[in-house]
Structure 1
Amino acid sequence: MLWRRELHTSSSGDRWFLARDTAPDRPYILHEPDAASGGLPSQIEIGSFLVTGKEGPEHRELVRLIGTLAEGGVLVTPPVEQARSHWIPSHGLG
């Protein structure tokens, strides 16, 4: 069974979905190119999708959706030293 939630449809007709296949139970991004391009749908691992460096509306919607998972949790004020991310993406292993 495949579950999917639309993230974005571009003006050219490309569509991105957050999808989860229940057989291997793994979430991924499903990209369906517009029909005119003749391209085939592709599955993109979520981590790869997020670190591509793009700031497209499909990326922003996925980050917003992930952020909603914290809603309903405990509201805390982080210490100043934890208020900013210190994560630096790696662009290769060596």
Structure 2
Amino acid sequence: MSLPEANRLIYASPNGDCWHLLFDPTTGHSFVRHTGNVASGGHVTDFSLSTFLASGRNSPEHQELWRLIGTLVGESGPRQQVSDVA
């Protein structure tokens, strides 16, 4: 059974390149997959989140992933977690 958002499109460029955010349930890690357009051979490259995010902020695919991350924390900052009080 696959997770509902185990594969989420981050950005599709006008030339046909696509970037997806994926989750590997066997490792528990998320990563970014770039699929090149057919004209360039359609090569697929996987990046760890840290590698992808460190590689730039100005491209549309990076901006879209940062926007997506921003939706998780909202305007008021990260959600507070309730911790056990001893």
Report how far residue 52 of structure 1 moved: 1.0
> Does the aligned pair in 1 maintain the 2:56–2:62 contact within 8 Å?
no
**Separation in structure 1 between the aligned mates of residue 64 and residue 22 of structure 2, nearest angstrom:** 14
**TM-score normalised to structure 1 length:** 0.69
Runs (4+) of structure 1 exceeding 6 A deviation are none
Q: Give ranges in structure 2 of 5+ residues lacking alignment.
A: 78-86
**Contact in 1 for aligned 2:57/2:63 (Cα 8 Å):** no
Cα distance per residue 1:34-83 (max 9 Å; x no partner): 011114211101111111134111100100111111138xx37xxxxxxx
1:68 aligns with 71
Q: CA RMSD in A?
A: 1.9
Secondary structure of the residue that 2:65 maps to in structure 1? helix
Q: Give TM-score, length-normalised by structure 2.
A: 0.75
Aligned pair partner of 1:43 in 23, 43, 46? 46
Aligned residues: 74
Aligned pairs for 1:2-17 within 5 A? 3-17=6-20
Whole-Å separation in 1 of the counterparts to 2:11 and 2:23: 16
Between Structure 1 and Structure 2, whose CA radius of gyration is higher? Answer: 1
The answer on whether the counterparts of 2:9 and 2:19 sit within 8 Å (CA) in structure 1 is yes
Give 5+ residue unaligned stretches, structure 1: 77-94
Give identity over the alignment, percent: 36
One-letter amino acid of the structure 2 residue matched with residue 70 of structure 1 = V
